[in-house]
């Protein structure tokens, strides 16, 4: 089955999020959630979809796919996923082992797994060995507001709609205190700092945060690969540490885990190299008694692939659901949580294709 066409389609989706933005990720005017769909067609009339991270890097990642990946992958056997992804990783490594190049590889890998599942007539979770569960509890991943009142209001709203755990993207104590007060003593609260602190600052903040019983503290340190300091913070604070959305392939996860840096490793399907690399990281983590908690603040094929991956994993109990309202959802809102649970689709491959009407409406590369 030959790959006859690869199309990287930038799709910015207008969204709202319940409040004004502070300096989160792309700045104050963040009104569109960028996705880069990767459509792969084969000569067997099977089409697969992947996506590559993301946000305001989608045009840069598209260029990497168009100029670095597609020239090598066109004409190749779509079912030879491992050999092709290995070859692409070797041939592109001189342009960077992490970041845009690996995001681009992730998009292709996810699409090839979608094709493999469709060719076999099996949902991806069965290709991975079968499901431990078919509904995955989602946690509401709030954006960064820097405003305790907004965090409290959105926490109450999310709990009211069925969520049973909340993640904040904040770097001060007051929003955490407000969320604990709003959600009660038993609510699991995760705090994602997005690499804001030095080790010294993190040590002070961990003391201040101790009364709020965090379920995990995510990416507290800059730089994220400072694994020795992360391990020291983990040991001294006693707070479970999560990290990995900025880690490069299974090799850097090995360094992270061997340093004792994390309780939860957080590979991201659209960033780390796709499903192929996720499976390698999963095996590594299992043998080191480290739990996986994937990063998934996106809504396309990468989210679907994450759902299948979690369904087929014995010890992952949550999926990250970005707490935003999209103007239009590419899967017609069929993945929205019901009572805090997201059902894993059981159609072949990823189980669903993006709605073609959605793609035509939002794609930015129209002639």
Provide the minimum distance between the beta carbon of 21 and Mg ion in the complex, in angstroms, as a whole number: 16
* 227/358 with CB nearer Mg ion: 227
| Pattern 191-210, Mg ion, x by CB under 5 A | -x------------------
Tokens matching residue 197 = 């602190």
Provide the minimum distance between the beta carbon of 280 and Mg ion in the complex, in angstroms, as a whole number: 21
* 61/293 with CB nearer Mg ion: 293
* 9/262 with CB nearer Mg ion: 262
Distance of alpha carbon 190 from alpha carbon 209, whole angstroms: 11
Stretch that binds Mg ion, among 23-31, 111-119, 238-246, 312-320 (CB under 5 A): 238-246
114 makes contact with Mg ion (CB under 5 A) = no
Stretch that binds Mg ion, among 133-141, 198-206, 239-247, 354-362 (CB under 5 A): 239-247
Provide the minimum distance between the beta carbon of 312 and Mg ion in the complex, in angstroms, as a whole number: 23
* 192/353 with CB nearer Mg ion: 192
| Pattern 316-345, Mg ion, x by CB under 5 A | ------------------------------
SS3 letters for the chain? Answer: CEEEEEEEEEEEEEEECCCCCCCCCCCCCCCEEEEEEEEEEECCCCEEEEEECCHHHHHHHHHHHHHHHHHHHCCCECCCHHHHHHHHHHHHHHHCCCCHHHHHHHHHHHHHHHHHHHHHCCEHHHHCCCCCCCEEEEEEECCCCCCHHHHHHHHHHHHHCCCCCEEEECCCHHHHHHHHHHHCCCCCEEEECCCCECHHHHHHHHHHHHHHCCCEEECCECCCCCHHHHHHHHHHHCCCEEECCCCCHHHHHHHHHHCCCCCEECCECCCCCHHHHHHHHHHHHHHCCCEECCECCCCCHHHHHHHHHHHCCCCCCCEEEECCEECCCCCCCCCCCECCEEECCCCCECCCCCCHHHHHHHCCCCC
* 170/245 with CB nearer Mg ion: 245
Stretch that binds Mg ion, among 149-157, 240-248, 277-285, 327-335 (CB under 5 A): 240-248
Provide the minimum distance between the beta carbon of 142 and Mg ion in the complex, in angstroms, as a whole number: 12
* 7/245 with CB nearer Mg ion: 245
Q: 197-204 long-range CB contacts below 8 Å, 24 or more apart?
A: 197/171, 197/221, 197/222, 198/222, 199/226, 199/229, 199/232, 199/233, 202/229, 202/233, 203/233, 203/236, 203/237
41 makes contact with Mg ion (CB under 5 A) = no
| Pattern 173-192, Mg ion, x by CB under 5 A | -------------------x
* 73/285 with CB nearer Mg ion: 285
Provide the minimum distance between the beta carbon of 322 and Mg ion in the complex, in angstroms, as a whole number: 11
Provide the minimum distance between the beta carbon of 295 and Mg ion in the complex, in angstroms, as a whole number: 6
By rule CB under 5 A, what count of residues binds Mg ion? 2
Positions in 242-261 near Mg ion (CB under 5 A): 245
170 makes contact with Mg ion (CB under 5 A) = no
CB-closest chain residue to Mg ion = 192
* 25/210 with CB nearer Mg ion: 25
Kindly list the residues in this chain that would bind Mg ion in the complex (CB under 5 A). Answer: 192, 245
């Amino acid at each position: 089955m030959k790959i006859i066409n690869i199309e990287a389609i930038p799709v910015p989706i207008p969204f709202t999020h319940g409040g004004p933005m502070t300096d989160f990720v792309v700045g104050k005017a963040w009104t569109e959630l960028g996705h880069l769909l990767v459509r792969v067609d084969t000569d067997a009339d099977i089409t697969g979809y992947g996506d590559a991270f993301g946000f305001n890097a989608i045009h840069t990642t598209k260029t990497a796919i168009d100029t670095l990946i597609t020239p090598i992958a066109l004409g190749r056997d779509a079912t030879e996923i491992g050999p092709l992804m290995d070859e692409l990783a070797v041939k592109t490594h001189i342009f960077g082992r992490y970041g845009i190049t690996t995001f681009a590889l992730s998009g292709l890998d996810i699409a090839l797994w979608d094709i493999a599942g469709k060719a076999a007539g099996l949902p991806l979770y069965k290709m991975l060995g079968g499901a431990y569960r078919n509904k995955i509890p989602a946690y509401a991943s709030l954006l960064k507001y820097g405003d305790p009142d907004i965090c409290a209001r959105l926490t109450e709203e999310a709990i009211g709609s069925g969520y049973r755990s909340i993640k904040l993207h904040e770097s001060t104590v007051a929003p955490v205190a407000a969320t604990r007060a709003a959600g009660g003593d038993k609510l699991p609260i995760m705090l994602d700092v997005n690499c804001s602190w030095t080790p010294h600052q993190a040590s002070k903040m961990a003391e201040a945060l101790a009364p709020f019983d965090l379920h995990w503290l995510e990416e507290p340190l800059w730089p994220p690969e400072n694994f020795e300091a992360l391990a020291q913070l983990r040991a001294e604070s006693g707070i479970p540490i999560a990290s990995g959305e900025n880690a490069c392939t299974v090799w850097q996860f090995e360094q992270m885990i061997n340093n004792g840096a994390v309780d939860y490793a957080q590979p991201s399907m659209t960033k780390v190299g796709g499903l192929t690399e996720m499976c390698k990281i999963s095996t590594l983590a299992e043998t080191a008694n480290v739990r996986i908690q994937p990063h998934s603040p996106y809504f396309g094929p990468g989210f679907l692939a994450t759902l299948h991956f979690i369904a087929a994993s014995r010890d992952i109990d949550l999926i990250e659901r970005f707490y935003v309202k999209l103007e239009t959802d590419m899967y017609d809102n069929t993945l929205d949580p019901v009572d805090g649970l997201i059902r894993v689709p059981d159609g072949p491959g990823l189980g669903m294709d993006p709605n073609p009407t959605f793609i035509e409406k939002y794609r930015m590369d129209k002639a």
